[in-house]
Amino acid sequence: MSDNNKKYVKGGAQKTREKNKKLLTDSAKKCKKISNIFYKTSSPVNSECDSRSTATLQKKHTVQDSTGVINIDLDSSLTTNQKTTATESVLCDSRSTATLQKKHTVQDSTGVVNIDLDSSLTTNQKTTATESVLEIESLQYNLSSNEELLFKLKKNADIIEKINFVKQHPIQPSYFSNIRLDLEKLYFRKTPDDKKIARKWLSVFCIVNELKAMYCPFCIVFSSSATIFSKGCNNFKHIYDVVKIHEDSLTHRRSVEAFIQSTNEKSIEFGINNNLMTLKKNQILENIHVINEIFEIIKLLGRQNLPLRGSKNSESLYKWNDEDNLNKGNFLELVQFTAKRDATLYKHLNTAIENSKRRKANLEKKSLVSCGRGSLVTLLSKNTVNKVILSIVKSIRDKIKLELGEQHFSLQIDSTQDVSVVDQAAVCIRYIYEGEVKERLFALLKVVDSSGNGYYNMLKQLFSEHSIKFNNIIGESFDGAANMRGEYSGLQSKIKNQENPKAIYIWCYSHVLNLCICDTCKSLEAKNLFGFLNRLSTFFSESYKRMLVWLQEINSSLGSNKLKKLQKIGENNTRWWSREKALYWIFDGDQCLFPIIICALYHISISSNFEPKVCFEASSLLHNLCNFKIILTAHIFLNIFKIVGPTSRYLQTKGMDLLSAWGMIDSIKQEIGRLSFDCILNKSINFSNNMNDLLSSMNLPDDILVSSTFPVTRKSRKKRMYDEICEDESPELPLDKFRVDTYQTIVDQITISLNERFTDNNKLIADVQYLLPKNFKLIEQMPNTALKHLANLANLEHIQLCLELKNFSKVYPKINMSTIEKTKQIYHQLDTESDENTDDNEENMYENTAFPCKNKTTIHDTNNCLQCVYKLLYNLNMHVSAYSVLCASYEFFLTLSVTEVNCERTFSKLKLVKTRLRANMCQENLEALLIMSVEKQLLNDIEITKVIDYLKASSSVMSKMFSL
């Protein structure tokens, strides 16, 4: 058979196309023709009254208002119903100016069709036609989205929302600026017996007293078809007739009946929706309860610096009951612990576990792999926890910004490397809130560019994101690094040149004091002392065998010595407190570790369990420890640290002001100037004698003896045989040489360092001295230039500041009087004065006005505290009127930051938050957890509503879960 005679065989694809084509053809036959849409007669008349209609349904029509005849050229093929429909369409045309007459004539191609409304139309048809013609202009009115909130019901509203919508009405203004109407006739209708009934269904929409439209809230909510009052009626020419017609219409009556049934809870819709709404409300309340428990757990973990999550494989809820899943992480373990005591959380947890298992089984059944949660929301996932954490830090920042407001503030910045070798910069701000000084950690930023310009751009972006005015900075407290302190390219110069030329830079007082101590420790004897102490500490910690000998000796001691360990002296000079601690624990008092160390070293030096080099080193350390030169040098620094230590710790307190810090530094200079070498020498000799007495009771060899004198050399003996040394001759006696070369060098060096390093802002300190209550008596004699520098920096009027300060200095003793003193004074006046017209109002005004500040220092003098004075002014509300300029000067000075130790405290928390096991934490979560750890008070004040609002805004799913 030839190829031409072969039978053609259709392929599978072709068969499929033909099958689909046939199905489409059959479906098309069932569809309505487009012409039927334009000639539809079953729809209501109102639906055909389109405002954009041009009444061109047929070839030609004319409207003659003067004769009352409407001439319409219609197709002769139209049926009578079609002609009637076309007539009604023309009557409802929004641009028609026809008025309703009793008789209308419609002329088609064959003649004129006369329509008598009195005879040809029924009563309902007359009403519909009349209402359509009179109210036709209202269909063109549309409200904007912002103005129609009270007149537009949202889509898919439930019965509760519908009822609440109606209850917001009626809205009936008493004045219209664009039209004159009889409001009594509009808002009331008369009954046959002349009684007035208010039209509570009528609501009027106005913009600035300009009438725009009228609405029927019942028809908006409950009408099954669109009416002119549900869209907005603006045909004000015939408004009284239109209102009456709508009020009597069947559609309006049915809408009102539907509302009455709904409010009486008789409608089926209300019953169904009410049950659904009750179930939904209960579910939402359960979700809120669960998220509240989760919120409290996260707050606890953040406050205690504990990690939240466990390993990746242990956090899946479908593995919850696995035998090998014993540690699910702190967060889920606390959820499980809390669920045992909370029925709602227990139910939610079990439901989440079952849903997770069911979802996992479905995925495995379909051989699918899913990395996300899909449609399952358990509120226990990592995403939800992170959202709660971010909502917490957002709430804390919002609180800080609310407290800060638009006032001035000072800045503290310092940086350090975390465990993952990332440079982290802590940004703290200091400001005044309700009379109190606040220092808050605001951000932790990852440093990419450590130059001054890089820091400036980073801070500029930070404050811009949080809508804080960067030019409100009046002071900065940084360390002495070049990128911070640099005069030309440092951060402080960038702020001065580009933000606030009067911004005050204060080199952190804690760092400066530390540098003064470091300068003192550069002498030879100081290096020998602290090098020896550091080696002594590392000698025991290098080996567990040596540490066992140490523990045996320390356990045999009494009191607090059992808790003491030898302190290592850090190589970093910023931790000079380690020198103080090492000295105190070894050389201070009778309960020091000195005899215990000697016993431990002696036992190691004679033990056969150690190598010879270890025994030799122990013997060498023992010999150096008994050297009197080491003991004397240690007591010199002990006396210095006893003077400097309290000031250093005071400089690390919150809310400290510049004047107090300056006063403490000044007291250090005076105390160091009063040091006596002979007194220190006597203390050292007494210490050596006491240690020898203790060692004699420890069964140690007699050759172990703590020296209490300097060895006398042959050269010094020969010198004593002759006369005394000359003034310009160097001393030859070891003690005299030590006095000159070591003691005097140490004292002179620390004095010089304190005088050189603490010299900035002298003018400002001098001005603020007059703001102290102890100096109020000197105000009358203060020079004319006093307070001028302070007024210039704070942008205050100098003359007004001086006047207010002079006046306040006179009334301060009276208003600062305690309640007891005021009471005694009042009774004393009553006893001594017989005049009953004594004005007691002034005394009552000052009652209960002694407001001390919250300074926690051991010695606190209110006459020497700026915060006490400002607190007094603030609580008496004098900062508003009487002494506004004076209060502004106090606020300016108290806002200045003296140290950046708040950043240093932050870094201590950073080591607890970001550890080796949490080194991969993202920067956003690290910052949030660190702020939670540092600002514990603000963390406790956060309300769960803030967290829920944040979660609702994060996704539509969360919004549905927590929206009532």
What is the rounded distance in angstroms from the CA atom of residue 637 to the CA atom of residue 821? 46
Q: How far apart are the first and last CA of the chain?
A: 81
SS3 328: coil
- Mean pLDDT of the region 293-307: 93
Contacts of 715 (CB under 8 A, 6+ apart): 732
pLDDT digits (tens, 9 = 90+) for 196-212: 888 888 999 888 888 88
pLDDT-derived band at 398 (thresholds 50, 70, 90) equals very high
Buried b (16+ CB within 10 A) or exposed e, 740-776: eebbebbbebbbebbeebbeebeebbebbebbbbeeb
Q: Locate tokens 């369409």: which residue?
A: 89
Least confident of 17-26, 441-450, 630-639, 933-942: 17-26
User: For residue 572, with 0-12 CB atoms within 10 Å meaning exposed, 13-18 middle and 19 or more buried, which class applies?
Assistant: exposed
387 pLDDT above the threshold of 90: yes
pLDDT-derived band at 317 (thresholds 50, 70, 90) equals confident
What is the rounded distance in angstroms from the CA atom of residue 87 to the CA atom of residue 112? 13
Locate 565 and state its tokens. 């360990």
451 pLDDT above the threshold of 50: yes
pLDDT at 241: 87
pLDDT at 89: 35
pLDDT-derived band at 839 (thresholds 50, 70, 90) equals very low
| Contact (Cβ atoms closer than 8 angstroms) between residue 202 and residue 186 | yes
pLDDT digits (tens, 9 = 90+) for 273-282: 556 667 788 8
- Mean pLDDT of the region 6-14: 65
- What SS3 string covers 481-541? CHHHHCCCCCHHHHHHHHCCCCCEEEECHHHHHHHHHHHHCCCHHHHHHHHHHHHHHHHHH
pLDDT at 801: 92
- Mean pLDDT of the region 396-422: 93
**Residue 324: alpha-carbon gap to chain centroid:** 40
469 pLDDT above the threshold of 50: yes
pLDDT at 94: 33
Q: Locate tokens 């030879």: which residue?
A: 524
442 pLDDT above the threshold of 90: yes
Locate 871 and state its tokens. 């607190």
Q: Locate tokens 């009953």: which residue?
A: 836
pLDDT at 193: 74
Locate 79 and state its tokens. 């049926």
pLDDT digits (tens, 9 = 90+) for 846-893: 333 344 455 544 456 677 788 888 888 888 888 777 889 999 999 999
DSSP 678-707: HHHHHHHHHHHHHHHHHHHTTT--TT----
Percent of the residues in the chain that have a pLDDT greater than 90, as a whole number: 28
pLDDT-derived band at 63 (thresholds 50, 70, 90) equals very low
Counting other chains too, the contacts that 785-791 makes at CB distance below 8 Å and 24 or more residues apart are 787/889, 789/763, 789/764, 790/764, 790/889, 790/892, 790/893, 791/889
Helix, strand, coil % in the chain, rounded to nearest 5: 55, 10, 35
Which secondary structure element, helix H or strand E, spans residue 63, and what is its range? Answer: strand 60-64
Which residue from 301, 297, 185 is spatially nearest to 238, judged by alpha carbons? 185
DSSP β-bridge partners for residue 424: 416, 446
pLDDT at 320: 86
pLDDT at 371: 59
**Residue 822: alpha-carbon gap to chain centroid:** 43
- Mean pLDDT of the region 512-516: 86
pLDDT digits (tens, 9 = 90+) for 582-601: 888 888 877 788 988 999 99
Q: Which of 221-225, 630-634, 724-728 has the highest mean pLDDT?
A: 630-634
pLDDT at 336: 93
pLDDT at 427: 95
| Contact (Cβ atoms closer than 8 angstroms) between residue 900 and residue 477 | yes
Q: Strand 409-417 to strand 473-478: parallel, antiparallel, or no bridges (unpaired)?
A: parallel
DSSP β-bridge partners for residue 915: none
- Residue 576 phi/psi, 5-degree rounding, is -75, -15
- Residue 441 phi/psi, 5-degree rounding, is -80, 120
pLDDT digits (tens, 9 = 90+) for 774-814: 888 888 888 888 899 999 999 999 999 999 999 998 888 88
pLDDT at 576: 61
Helix extents (H) in 860-920 = 866-875, 884-895, 901-913
| Contact (Cβ atoms closer than 8 angstroms) between residue 233 and residue 261 | no
- Mean pLDDT of the region 257-271: 68
- Taking each helix axis from N to C end, the angle separating 594-606 and 544-555, rounded to the nearest 10 degrees, works out to 130
Query: What value does the mean pLDDT of the chain take?
Result: 77
pLDDT digits (tens, 9 = 90+) for 131-181: 444 433 333 333 444 445 778 887 778 778 888 888 888 888 888 888 888
Q: What value, to the nearest 5°, has the Cα angle with vertex 438 and ends 433 and 443?
A: 115
pLDDT at 561: 61
Q: Strand 203-207 to strand 423-433: parallel, antiparallel, or no bridges (unpaired)?
A: unpaired
